[in-house]
Structure 1
Amino acid sequence: MAENKKQEGRIEPYHHAAAGWGALKYVAINLFKERVSGVNYKSLFAQNQPDGFDCPGCAWPDREHASTFEFCENGVKAVAAESTSKRVTPDFFAAHTVTELLQQSDYELEQHGRLTHPMVYDPASDKYAPIAWDDAFKLIAEELNALDDPNQAAFYTSGRASNEAAFLYQLFVRAYGTNNFPDCSNMCHEATSRGLPGTVGIGKGTVTLDDFEHADTLLIFGQNPATNHPRMLGELRDCAKRGATIVSINPLRERGLERFTSPQHPMEMLTMASTPISSMFVQPKLSGDLALIKAMAKRLLELDDRAVLIGMKRLLDIDFITEHTTGFQEFARDLRAEKWSVLLEESGVPRAQIDELVDIYVRGERVIATWGMGLTQHKNSVATIQMLSNLMLMRGNIGRQGAGLCPVRGHSNVQGDRTMGIEEQPTPAFLDRMQQVFGFEPPRHHGYDVVATIAAMQEGRVKVFVGLGGNFAMATPDTPLTFKALESCALTVQIATKLNRSHLIHGRKALILPTLGRTEIDAQNGVPQGVTVEDSMSMVHISYGLNKPASPELLSEIAIVSRMAEATLGGASQLKWQAYRDDYAVIRDDIEKVFDDFYDYNERVAKPGGFHLKVASREREWATTSGKAQFVPHQIELDTPIRRARAKYGKQLMVMMTTRSHDQYNTTIYALDDRYRGVFGMRRVIFINQADIDMLGMKAGDWVDVESVWEDGVARRADGFMLVAYDIPRGCIGAYYPETNPLVPLGSVADGAGTPTSKSIPVLLTPAAAS
């Protein structure tokens, strides 16, 4: 990997509103840098359009699958990156050894452009060389069929895969004989997927975009929409304009939740005006959200008790609680027994601010609670999600217009992949239906998630790794350990559009298989094919690419998956792989045989905007063991790795959160700026409270090395970071991933979800070693 050199850059506070002319400027810079050809510019106006393609970026939904152009800075960057005229050809690989390429940064690797040919690693020359597609699939089949047990292979899925590709992928892998499906959901919203079924019966949000038109209060937990979901700011702007109260609850005070200038509104652009978004900012300390939300619930219960005592209208929705829920009395007893001193200490939020926050919640008649990975990447994240659900249930804010739960997922189809069966813990009912429809006995045991897959590779229990998209090596925790795990494999296969570090961290045998992007025309037998995705609000819509493929050698993900299946399963498979890749409607016909909610799939998805998948909890139907929504009490755990580390190191101990910059999407680095946070031309920075800089005897601009504090005796370091004074709670710091992923121990995961705890890692800062 490239050496950690001190980067030349600058820190310059950004005082403008989010988006506006700054967004247009940086889009222009990005388009120039990517050398997007004139013929591909039209694709910028086709994203999220009825006759265009679904943006390959975030999973924020479209209002009626937008009939007019909707500007999104990060969406344009994603499209430009895919539409670039730069190419990574066999000649490129012939000119560079893998060892040489490893010295380049992730940003430099991204800038080389689109992959054009299937490539195989040649250990003699330490280079990738061209390979025919048939030979690539033969190699995969030989390695898979040589394994002693199908469970010695793992099949990763990123959120860029379509519903059709994901469905075929899980069909192939289960026919092969394993449920080893590590996927990007394991690293982001798994706490949502595991937590909500225990309270409301399904691990999905209960709102649609229409609910934002009726909400009077929005609580935004652990989110930075201006960077992660820029189109969400348009909805928040409209809410603010009509008087809704918006509260930002996040350790970092983010620019996009302060003020926003909408590129969709010419008057704001021309007058340099902006719309204030949040009316209140609450900054809990890292891993303090559970205590904060429980404190809100306790305060609400106290206010309701007082209302009963003085004969006022109750603040709890007793009718809803009585008719639709169970477990409230036990939950209330737990709240009453909880000590305020514990909640205040663990949340880091003053009592007066909690009272003010609860007053806002109580005044709201229609409240939406949204959240991102700021809630889901902690040890207590499942408990936090369930506590938030408890809070919303207390006032009946689930299953009515303008109110509900709104987890905002990251990659464009991460939710759809899970719906399609990319799940290492499949339900018996799903497996029964698979057997009924396809006539084979699927494996019944639970498989490996991301963390378990890394451990299994390291221990030699997984010997073949196949990645359908993504950048597994850099997205995962404990980077040096993950690298060694991948390198120990007999075969690694990476299906991708652009070069990334996972192609360079490879097994003894390795393949790079280039695939079509969502912006590109996918024609089978001369007929353009559409693929579907499911957004964060359970809308399913179809997408057709417009650009000429980057290379005639590219295959679609569906073609790659189906040909892997044919080669591997051979005559043992009666599944119609050829028919699937000839006509994607055939895949959708079979999807509806497995999932009842996808009835008339092809007919419904052909309508502009597609269709909404039923979410039972939205209809106040509760698919829980009790048949009702369930209050679930949770204790505030006091014996934690962070507390033990702080007891040992005192105030010197910091808790680190990893985050991404504004010029970044997941592990893809578009540029070295993070303008809303005032960082330009560099990425190795630490955001830290000025008082903590003073306490450490340092000053802003000093360089430090970072060491994580964990109890397994393994030294984990990341060196060479500049201190940047920032508005963040004392004892907390922020830094970018993937640069700080080496500090996240593989064993530090969310209880009940297995998600790496990337938002709460205990670390120590020391002056940087002389370079």
Structure 2
Amino acid sequence: MTVSFIGKKSSAAGGWGALKSCGKRLLESGSPLTGARTMLKANQSDGFDCPGCAWGDPEHGSSFEFCENGVKAVSWEATEKRATPAFFAGNTVSELRKLSDYKLELNGRLTHPMRYDRASDRYLPVAWEDAFAEIGSMLKNLDSPDRAEFYTSGRASNEAAYLYQLFVRVYGTNNFPDCSNMCHEASGVALKQAIGVGKGTVLLEDFEKADAIFVIGQNPGTNHPRMLGDLRRAAIRGADVVVFNPVREKGLERFSDPQDKIEMLRGSSTEIASQYYQPRLGGDMAAVRGMAKAVFAAEDAAVAAGKAAVLDHDFLKEHCAGLADYRAAVDRTGWAEIEDQSGLSREEIERAADVYMRADRAICTWAMGVTQHLHSVATIREITNFMLLRGNIGRPGAGLCPVRGHSNVQGDRTVGINERPPAAFLDALEKHFGFSAPRTDGHNVIAAIGAMLDGSAQAFIGLGGNFARATPDSALVEKALGRMKLTVNIATKPNHSHLMPGEVSYILPCLGRTEMDLNSAGNSQLVSVEDSMSMVHGSAGINRPASPHLFSEVAILAGIAEATVGSGIVDWAALADDYDRIRDHIEATIPGFEDYNTRLRKPRGFLLRNTAAHREWNTPAGKASFSATPLPEETVHQRARKGGGRFALQTFRSHDQYNTTVYGLDDRYRGVYGERQVIFIHPEDLQAIGAAAGDRTDVVGDYDDGISRVAPDFRFVPYDIPRGSIAGYYPELNVLVPLSSAGDESDTPTSKSIMVSFRKSEAA
């Protein structure tokens, strides 16, 4: 049967299309009324934190603080479908591997702990106590704690993440590969260098005060739709929204707010971007360098004419170091180099710079379109340089805003999920708990996969997520997991990571964010998360658990910890029975969490103090530091155009997915329906290679390491994207991302800088 994969695009993000999608997802959950009631508690002070994105909550929120993607995430979790022991009895692991990510997770919520039986190639039910005992025994019998890898997904709560890192450090290793290694690691590294803290500096309220908002390398309409409401309100009050994105994204062009009755009745929408620029892949640093060059030129002209300065000289003198070296680096960078690398004209870049210079207060936001390149750290340093020029850090309506993905990826890092922990944190743990913490740096994701491949790692435990599908070089990761003596996955639904078992393999089912977590006294437990604006707030589920056999993440980790290291140092069971005790330990060991349990129970929670937001710079220079790094010698786009039919590929999400979770097969904002294996390409590029819309192709990785990488049978979709650049969905295209290609200083996979070519599909 032929799939109809190209259709009508939405005229605007949101609107009736979003409402229809919400209704469809609630119906598919099997209990639409329960789902609707559940959504009314999403992001409310007496409800649960949405398990989707990490966008902040307003101080005075409405009764509908959720978006289309939030409905998808909640209905996906709250489905009435169940993956019971009978499901696993009826399907071998080999058979389940043939299912797509979408079809596999459609089987519903896990209900029982399961252990892999190699003889039958099936997962069989197992008692919790037996699972804990064997996992603990195997971990204890490794010849070194460094033989084990402990992965963390950003869906874990602060309490689960803190307990996890405490257990693993008592066990004796800092091997903490986590999802941040694959997304915003470059942001943390760059911001720590530049301003002394690896987080953004803005609050949600700053978007109400900004005169200009620069949105670089992100797609809020699909990845964090609630942000569109804040951009829409900014646009309505007259703020400029300047977008840099290689792909024309509907949510950044127009947005129809489903909560605006007049807009919905009229079928109208609001223009978001006042200026929209499409740089080539990898060209963002050059574009920002060009804007800085325009600012310096305007400053020189103002001084010569005796007019008011363009730069904020008082701020630069008091708070910044390295300006002269940066100015020299900008002067050395010619416009021809900037235009060639960015793919934008000098006129376009100067027009964007004019917006910045007119604005008294400016915010710059970015996401994975910036962080997943070889030179991502340098690019974020360049963004920071640009914002420092006019003092746009540390005052209302201005600042830096890396927009995180998963709901608590930032919080997990705050409470200790870090393969390179600060010495002060380890000192605090040792003093408080009375044990010797490991001091050797551990493994991030790339290093962990390497250790699994070379045999130095023998055990893998995954706290949430879908490690096998989130990571690069899919074939190598499958091989790596299969070499483990022990694999353990803590999850809510079956996914492909579970189908790559080691010698001994467990699936341990946990409660979801929307479900009640009751302690031994029958009292509801409260967990906490940190959003992209450093706000920490509580979350308490309201639904009955999908199965009476589910444990919370905290309870599962406590069970493994007790079986592995015993309870001599930490009473794990007591912590699992009262999360307030975990928060007491966090308060005692991590600055900023004073009076944690009291402040958490206030509406909206509390703000973790950000030193850079107060113009306190924890850098070696004691000031915000400019970077004088030159532009890359060559971007992936520049290499690709040298010939040989090569293209620069970026991977991204469809509108019907969140990270590796695929909710459906439509991407209505891009006009794709019932299909995921597509390649978005400029129409002239399609014509140049002698192909037409709908033709099928194999996508071949072009990386000189002797490894063949092929993503077979993809369809061409003409799209508004720079010539030489192409795009498609992950995880299907992760097979093309080389494990050995990672960002300088960040080790983040270069999923936005993949060199590929095409060959005729064997399925054609």
Does residue 1:549 correspond to 2:536, yes or no?
Answer: no
Q: How many angstroms does 1:67 deviate by?
A: 4.6
Task: Give the aligned length.
Answer: 763
The answer to whether the Cα contact below 8 Å between 1:158 and 1:469 also exists between their aligned partners in 2 is yes
Counterpart residue identity of residue 444, structure 2: D
**Runs of 4 or more above 6 Å deviation:** none
Inter-partner Cα distance in structure 2 for 1:128 and 1:65: 48
Match of 1:98 in 2: 93
Find the residue that maps to 2:514 and give its secondary structure.
coil
Inter-partner Cα distance in structure 1 for 2:484 and 2:755: 31
Does residue 1:566 correspond to 2:566, yes or no?
Answer: no
Inter-partner Cα distance in structure 2 for 1:618 and 1:769: 55
The answer to whether the Cα contact below 8 Å between 2:153 and 2:464 also exists between their aligned partners in 1 is yes
Inter-partner Cα distance in structure 2 for 1:645 and 1:403: 37
Counterpart residue identity of residue 743, structure 2: A
Match of 1:538 in 2: 534
Q: How many angstroms does 1:146 deviate by?
A: 1.1
Match of 2:248 in 1: 253
The answer to whether the Cα contact below 8 Å between 2:713 and 2:763 also exists between their aligned partners in 1 is no
CA distance 1:65–1:460, change in 2 (3 Å): farther
Q: How many angstroms does 1:770 deviate by?
A: 3.8
Counterpart residue identity of residue 359, structure 1: D
Q: How many angstroms does 1:9 deviate by?
A: 2.8
Q: How many angstroms does 1:640 deviate by?
A: 6.0
Does residue 1:691 correspond to 2:687, yes or no?
Answer: no
Counterpart residue identity of residue 554, structure 2: I
The answer to whether the Cα contact below 8 Å between 1:65 and 1:609 also exists between their aligned partners in 2 is no
Match of 2:171 in 1: 176
Q: How many angstroms does 1:508 deviate by?
A: 1.4
Find the residue that maps to 1:551 and give its secondary structure.
coil
Residue of 430, 438, 441 corresponding to 1:443: 438
The answer to whether the Cα contact below 8 Å between 1:50 and 1:65 also exists between their aligned partners in 2 is no
Match of 2:598 in 1: 603
Inter-partner Cα distance in structure 2 for 1:180 and 1:342: 41
Q: How does 1:200-219 map onto structure 2 within 5 Å?
A: 200-219=195-214
Inter-partner Cα distance in structure 1 for 2:603 and 2:261: 27
Counterpart residue identity of residue 553, structure 1: H
Deviations 1:304-328 (A, max 9, x none): 1121122121111111000000110
Q: How many angstroms does 1:37 deviate by?
A: 5.6
Q: How many angstroms does 1:430 deviate by?
A: 1.1
Inter-partner Cα distance in structure 2 for 1:65 and 1:194: 33
Match of 2:664 in 1: 671
Q: How does 1:744-755 map onto structure 2 within 5 Å?
A: 744-755=737-748
Residue of 315, 320, 332 corresponding to 2:315: 320
**Any stretches of 5+ residues in structure 2 without a counterpart?**
none
Q: How does 1:427-442 map onto structure 2 within 5 Å?
A: 427-442=422-437
Residue of 355, 359, 374 corresponding to 2:354: 359
Q: How many angstroms does 1:209 deviate by?
A: 0.8
Q: How does 1:369-768 map onto structure 2 within 5 Å?
A: 369-525=364-520, 526-570=522-566, 573-638=568-633, 643-644=638-639, 646-647=641-642, 649-650=643-644, 652-768=645-761
Inter-partner Cα distance in structure 2 for 1:456 and 1:275: 50
Residue of 325, 329, 344 corresponding to 1:349: 344
**Any stretches of 5+ residues in structure 1 without a counterpart?**
1-5
Q: How many angstroms does 1:637 deviate by?
A: 2.2
Counterpart residue identity of residue 759, structure 2: T
**TM-score of the superposition, structure 2-length normalised?**
0.99
**TM-score of the superposition, structure 1-length normalised?**
0.98
Q: How many angstroms does 1:592 deviate by?
A: 0.4
CA distance 1:42–1:130, change in 2 (3 Å): same
Match of 2:294 in 1: 299
Inter-partner Cα distance in structure 1 for 2:226 and 2:35: 22
Deviations 1:225-268 (A, max 9, x none): 11101111111111011011101110001001111111111111
Q: How many angstroms does 1:15 deviate by?
A: 4.1
Counterpart residue identity of residue 659, structure 1: F
Inter-partner Cα distance in structure 2 for 1:641 and 1:654: 8
Inter-partner Cα distance in structure 2 for 1:9 and 1:763: 26
The answer to whether the Cα contact below 8 Å between 2:677 and 2:728 also exists between their aligned partners in 1 is yes
Does residue 1:77 correspond to 2:77, yes or no?
Answer: no
Q: How many angstroms does 1:344 deviate by?
A: 1.0
Q: How many angstroms does 1:270 deviate by?
A: 1.2
Find the residue that maps to 1:597 and give its secondary structure.
coil
Find the residue that maps to 2:566 and give its secondary structure.
helix
Find the residue that maps to 2:214 and give its secondary structure.
strand
Q: How many angstroms does 1:708 deviate by?
A: 1.1
C-alpha RMSD of matched pairs (Å): 1.2
Sequence identity (%): 55
The answer to whether the Cα contact below 8 Å between 1:37 and 1:84 also exists between their aligned partners in 2 is no
Inter-partner Cα distance in structure 2 for 1:328 and 1:299: 16
The answer to whether the Cα contact below 8 Å between 1:106 and 1:669 also exists between their aligned partners in 2 is yes
Match of 1:24 in 2: 19
Inter-partner Cα distance in structure 2 for 1:244 and 1:344: 27
Inter-partner Cα distance in structure 2 for 1:501 and 1:770: 24
**104-113 vs 56-65, which moves further:** 56-65
The answer to whether the Cα contact below 8 Å between 1:437 and 1:593 also exists between their aligned partners in 2 is yes
Q: How many angstroms does 1:524 deviate by?
A: 0.3
Counterpart residue identity of residue 368, structure 2: M
The answer to whether the Cα contact below 8 Å between 1:65 and 1:608 also exists between their aligned partners in 2 is no
